[in-house]
Homo-oligomer: A and B are copies of this chain.
Amino acid sequence: MVNIQRVAKEAGVSVATVSRVLHDQNTVTAKTRLKVEEAIQKLNYQPSMLGRNLRKSESRLLLVLIPEISNPFYFDIIKGIESIAISHNYNILLCETDSSPERENIYFDLIRTKMADGIISMDPAVNMDALMDLAEKHPIIQCSEYTAEGEIPYVTIDNEAASYQAVKHLIKIGNEKIALINSNKKYLYARQRKKGYQRALEEQGVVVRKEYIYHTEHLGFEYGQQAVKNILKVNDPPTAIFAVSDLLAIGALKELHAQGLHVPDDIAVVGFDKIHFSNMTNPTLTTIAQPMYKMGTLAVEMLIKRIKGENVESIILDHELVIRESTSG
């Protein structure tokens, strides 16, 4: 491996000058610069980031924590993150935690050992205490899922309002018996979306029925299917379902179809996230769109500011109800 010393020797200058040329400093005469550039060319020199990183005490790596890479909800967020990160000369370590604290801890160690410069956490299952601890010493931003208790800045949407709007829509098209397929209560977004659901019903003077609320262990088609199986068993079954994730809603559609029910005539369905798939189902899925790409770009920008030592404010972005076939005969 040819290093900066070798180049300096070849060009007949000092390593400092080579470094200056490398960083486009204009304190170098055109003539010297040329000599150095020729030497670099000739030796096919590529500066080692290992040396630079140690010297500057940075890794230029950013951690992005997600529970599951297979949830399409994260796609556009990641794309947003990636595009901004690259333009700032950072790279992204996509960390799938599988909601496991051990796995999580491996990634936290990456920060502690200087292998990474900051974290964007999108993992609702993350050990919040550990995260807040880490945030005392390291730059961290929360994206989508967050905790308001600590000091960690976040970018997200108003989950309660979004959920409220979804259920309002179901009410407006004539439903009062509305089931909720929710995810695990331990997640803030789950509690917030439940609140929106309740508020919409109560405002309408409809009593919230426990049998209509189903909590799933994880997000995934199977869980949506299972939820519908349970929900249809109750006396006086619902005429509409609101699922807090498109994955659950798509599983629900599948199971409803298996049971011979027609959507939306027999039962209406609303999802959440507007993942790409949700337009390929039959019927297409009414859902809440989140500005995922924007969320991603904002999250990195905030993180990079934090790394530079600047302060940042949390941000709440707008959502949008997208009405498609599953709620409109």
Binding site for B on A (CB under 8 A): 1, 46-51, 53-54, 57, 59, 61, 69-70, 72, 75, 78-79, 82, 86, 91-94, 96, 103, 106, 109-110, 112-115, 221, 250-251, 254, 257, 276-277, 279-282
> Which of chain B's residues have a CB closer than 8 A to the CB of A93?
91-93
Q: By the criterion CB–CB under 8 Å, are A70 and B72 in contact? A: yes
Which B residues lie within 8 Å of A279 (CB)? 221
Contacts of A70 on B, CB cut-off 8 Å? Answer: 72, 75, 276
- CB-CB nearest in chain B for A282: B282
Assembly CA distance A281 to B70 (angstroms): 17
From residue A235, how far is it (CB to closest CB) to chain B in Å? Answer: 28
A280 with B251: in contact, given A57-B50, A79-B96 (CB under 8 Å)?
yes
**Which of B78, B91, B250 is the one whose CB lies under 8 Å from A115?**
B91
A54 to B276 alpha-carbon distance, docked (Å): 43
Output the least CB separation between A82 and chain B (Å): 6
Do A50 and B46 touch across chains, with their CB atoms under 8 A apart? no
Q: Give 19 new A-B contacts, CB below 8 A, not counting A46-B113, A70-B75, A79-B96.
A: A1-B57, A1-B114, A46-B112, A48-B114, A49-B113, A50-B53, A50-B54, A50-B114, A50-B115, A53-B53, A54-B54, A61-B61, A69-B79, A70-B72, A91-B93, A91-B110, A92-B94, A94-B94, A221-B280
Instruction: Count this chain's copies in the assembly.
Output: 2
Q: What chain B residues lie within 8 Å of A94 (beta carbons)?
A: 92, 94
- Judging by beta carbons under 8 Å apart, are B82 and A96 in contact? yes
Docked pose: A110 CA to B52 CA in angstroms: 13
Chain B residues closer than 8 Å to A106, beta-carbon distance = 86
13 A-B interface contacts by CB (under 8 A) = A1-B114, A46-B112, A50-B57, A50-B59, A50-B114, A53-B53, A54-B54, A69-B79, A86-B103, A86-B106, A91-B115, A221-B277, A257-B282
How far, in Å, is A78 (CB) from chain B's closest CB?
Answer: 6
A49 touching B254, Cβ below 8 Å: no
Q: Which residue of B lies closest to A275 (CB)?
A: B70
| Complex CA distance for A86 and B72, rounded to whole angstroms | 23
Which residues of B lie under 8 Å from residue A75 when comparing CB positions?
A: 69-70
Distance to closest chain B CB from A34 (angstroms) = 23
Question: Roughly how many angstroms separate A79 CA and B103 CA in the complex, as a whole number?
Answer: 13
Residue on B nearest A284 in the bound complex, by CB = B254
